[in-house]
Amino acid sequence: MMVKVLFWLDQWCGPEAFKDKFPLLYEQEIAKRCYVTERITDSQFTWRWKAAIRGEEIMAEFINLCTMINNIRMTPVTLGFRFNLNRDGITRLIGYENALTPCQPQTTVF
């Protein structure tokens, strides 16, 4: 089963949906119902804006968004989850649609 998480509309990274956290960017988005897997691919970001991102406020939102999602890597896994341990043996739990939260991770020691 593949979980489809909407990039802007679902609460998947932090306490609020990105459409609420970054309203100026959301307004510029062409595909408002895009999935996380459509915006974060192969360690890079893919955007579809109505116009070029210009202005201090929207650029600040863009930088904050990129900073939040910078360490997220999409890894295809069939019927399960893959955990990458840090050097200290702690991993972030990444799970269901609302649990991708690198900004406020839960940690488990194995």
Say what the pLDDT of residue 84 is.
64
What per-residue confidence (pLDDT) applies to 37? 87
Q: CB-based burial of residue 40 (10 Å sphere; 0-12 exposed, 13-18 middle, 19+ buried)?
A: middle
| Amino acid in position 12 | W
Residue 20: pLDDT above 90? yes
Q: Report the alpha-carbon distance of residue 43 to residue 28 in Å, rounded.
A: 23
pLDDT digits (tens, 9 = 90+) for 58-96: 999 999 999 999 877 776 655 555 566 666 666 655 554
Report which secondary-structure segment, H or E, holds 20.
Answer: helix 18-21
Dist. CA 18–CA 30, nearest whole Å = 15
Per-residue pLDDT at 73: 72
| pLDDT class of 8 with cuts at 50, 70, 90 | very high
pLDDT for the residue 4: 85
